[in-house]
Chain A
Amino acid sequence: MKRRLIELAATTAALVGFCGAASAEWSKTYVVEWNEAAMYYGAKTGVTDPGTDCPKGTNPEIDQVKLLEDAGYTPAEAKWLRDPANPSRSPVHGQNQMAFRGEGRANVYIHPETTKDYGLVGVSGKISEGINLDGDTSTGFVSPTGEKGIDNTFYKTLGCWKTYRGPPRLSSGALTFNDSMREGAWTVVIVVAGKGDDPMNDKAVDVGFYMSGDKLVKDGNGEIARDYTFRIKPDAKFEALFKAQTKDGVITSRTAADEVWLRDPSYTGELQLLRARVSLTMEKDGSLKGYVGGYRPWKPVYDGWVRARGPVIESLTWVRLPDVYYALKRSADYSPTGPGGEKTHISYAERVDAIPAFVMTPDASKQVTEVTSYKAMASKEPPEKKKIYVVDGLVPDPKVPFGESLKVYPVPAKVSEAASAAPASGRK
């Protein structure tokens, strides 16, 4: 029924003619049903196994008791802080005291440089998914299909971190954020339009990524339903337009887009890409698969993880967040101000899977057949603020002021005795 209505609308629109710019000769429209950081998995099995990307497998779990001891807590204090029986350890928000392990008990989430860099182990393999962003085939990775010059330093830096590592669609981070998107948290549609006769080989193609306020719909098997209808929701920030071409059904950028913004499947939530490009394939089954890449600012990535509650992220994803800060800062490979400027950005690619969908104009009056900007139509209202109350990477506990856990809930004598009997390795 829905489809019939849309066909009717499209027919009507064709009869009355489109306003504005002349429509393209052909167009295809999609909705993103999965997107994740493009992280090549070099193992043949599992989700954490050793592979060509990470020869020792996914980075191992952090010994958090040892971490606290390294920061100067006594073994008894460290053990008690990590004890599930400790009332200050929230099952939802973690153990706030984990933050205060910097010099002078500084909060390492907001002051990461007050603690040492343990060194985040990154990818050592030569293969990566992504796009050649700088046109230089002598640098970067080789793609799984043999293309040289793939720029994806984000992957090289964070690719062995458990939250990102795994085969397509199976890393824990991708599963979490895509499930959220698929349950209706946000929707991204893609419009591809060309001026030539053959969509598969066209030298003048435009690609547009837009937000939609309409939620994804699941079919009876729990997959995102094809051929559903979505209206573009003009957004003042999230919109990405590309000048491209097609060759044998593969859409590639003709020129890099200076700056685009996409809804990021991460705690950061937003993805700014400079010098952005696409490489997308129109598959025989009607779907669209590939990458959108560019240089993203690295600091918001770190801040996103901190805002997601530092202690929770560290324990669930097996990482020391200051290590992530140091690694991203060290690996950043692009400066918007030129080669000599501060490298605030890092090369990145996002893997995108999209399926056919009907995409309508914001007022649903006609089917979208061309790529144009809708930013001017965006609401002037500020975006809704997130409800979770996080301060400096921590959720305040009214019973336990920041850094006062050991005063409010001192180490029980039993724990203290057991700890003092054990060797105090790593104690300062």
Chain B
Amino acid sequence: MSLRFNRRSMLRGLLGGAGVGLGLPALDIFLDVNGKAWADGTKLPVRFGTYFWGLGLTDTPTGGTRWVPTKKGPGYEITPELASLAPVKDKVSVFSGFRAIGDGRPNVVHWSGHASILSGIAPAVTGSFDGPSFDTRIADAIGSSSRFKSIDISPSGKALSYSTRTGKSFSTPEITPVSLYERIYGEGFQDPNNPNWKPDPKVMLKQSILSAVTDQRQALMADVGTADKVKLDQYFTSVREMENQLELQLQKPEKCEACVVPGRPGEAKKSASIDVVNENNKAMAKLLAMAMACNQTRVFNCVHTPGASETYIAGDSKIYHQYTHDEPTDAKLGYQPMSSKLAGMVMQGFGDFLAEMDAVKEGDGTLLDNSLIMGFSDTGYAKIHSLENIPMLLAGGAGGRHKAGQHISSEGESVTRVSLTAQQIIGAPVGEFGTGAMKTSRPITEVMA
């Protein structure tokens, strides 16, 4: 029987004269009998990550850009601040000209940009979002069958994550390679390729404790009022998630060809200087890449440097944040030279990160080919905290669903179009994203295979 729809199908139609596409979630009918590959044999696009860096990239009102390619569509040229992406250029799409729209809300500096990208609504105040970040929705969709639903890292050493289910409290990231290693490969880790695998008695004990209270749990729910029921329901949802995770750990894991358990990293340096941050970032990317290859997680969030980034070049008395504000635009160059230099160094972190993922071979391709990573920042022209032309990137082949290697140029459309595109490429069951002027049901179909 031939299917009318397949995994690449989109529900297409016309809205206001413009073509719109609605991606479909990863329905069972699209999978092979094992659920491990698409019916046509290609691998599942099962990994998703967000990668944030602070202070945007260099763009000035006088027209000097150091990151926006001139050529649109496929085959864009590598610009100075994207130089670190050159080795994986054909696996990265660049999105320029997109903006966060406040709908009358003020620009909460170093916050509104990424809050809009992740939650689809401009925040009212700094420190919280007005909705959940969309990575959590993806984690719910694709992260339940791995040991960790998602993992957050913050290589700058600051405990920062922008992943949130409530908008108020944010995930707790690992801030050093050692802590990341311990979390993934420490207690509870089971090597999927270990021929002598046995269920961990500690896990069995934990599971039995949870099972033992099931009856009392149900009795308690019957006794309490509506408000408490809501609270308890939220609480027991997290308990059930824990039960699922334990259940998962008691099953013999599938072999993962690409999985090679890494050695414990040495103690990392602690500093916000860019060389140290990038060193930690690279070490953590390596650990995280292998965690994904070993099916420990399928979703991650990385905050390379905060919005008001305090990173600096060792020996310099000024931090990057200060340079973006106080450095004048060089009349001959047309941009802020030190800010641009630092932007390039910060982007080296993203290049290194992608290189680590591309170094892990999976089947005929690489881990990067089977992943989608959305890279983005908090601002466009950092000198004035602009919410226009916020740099956004989609990296990785997403198992064939991302037509990568393109430059998509917009004239002021909402950043949520890129966010929606990422969600639909990865297969999250979402037809629209955003609120108010940033509400969109139009993904960028040019990059969707």
Q: Which A residues form the contact surface with B (CB < 8 A)?
A: 45-49, 58, 61, 64-65, 82-85, 91-92, 162, 169-170, 172, 175-176, 179-180, 183-185, 215, 218-222, 315-318, 387
Contact = CB atoms under 8 A, between A and B. Distances in A.
Interface of B: 61-62, 99, 102, 104-107, 110, 125, 271-273, 306, 308-310, 312, 316-319, 321-322, 325-326, 328-331, 383-388, 411-412
A45 B331 contact: yes
Contact of B102 (A82, A176, A183): A183
B384 A82 contact: no
Given A58-B328, A183-B107, A85 B272 contact: yes
21 contacts: A58-B328, A64-B317, A65-B317, A82-B317, A84-B310, A85-B271, A85-B273, A91-B309, A91-B310, A92-B321, A169-B61, A170-B61, A172-B325, A172-B328, A172-B384, A175-B384, A179-B386, A184-B102, A218-B412, A315-B318, A316-B325
A317 B327 CA distance: 9
Contact of B312 (A84, A169, A180): A84
Contacts of B308: 91-92
Contacts of B328: 46-48, 58, 162, 172
A179 B385 contact: yes
A185 B106 contact: yes
A184 B383 CA distance: 18
A84 B317 contact: yes
Top 6 A-B residue pairs of the complex, sorted by shortest distance between their CB atoms: A46-B331, A91-B310, A215-B104, A84-B312, A183-B107, A316-B326
- Residue among A58, A179, A183 facing the most chain B CB atoms (10 A cut-off): A183
Mostly, the B contact residues are loop
Contact of A222 (B99, B319, B321): B99
Nearest to B100: A183
A175 B331 contact: no
Contact of A315 (B104, B322, B411): B322
Nearest to B309: A91
A83 B385 contact: no
Given A84-B319, A91-B319, A47 B106 contact: no
B326 A49 contact: no
A318 B328 CA distance: 11
Given A47-B331, A84-B273, A218-B412, 12 more contacts: A46-B330, A85-B271, A91-B310, A162-B326, A172-B326, A179-B385, A179-B386, A184-B102, A220-B412, A222-B388, A315-B318, A317-B326
A234 B331 CA distance: 44
A407 B311 CA distance: 24
A181 to B, nearest CB: 10
Contacts of B102: 183-184, 215
Contacts of A215: 102, 104
A220 B414 CA distance: 11
A94 to B, nearest CB: 9
A340 B384 CA distance: 43
A319 B435 CA distance: 42
Nearest to A93: B308
A179 B61 CA distance: 11
Contacts of A316: 322, 325-326
Contacts of B62: 170
Contacts of B107: 179-180, 183-185
Nearest to A63: B317
A221 B387 contact: no
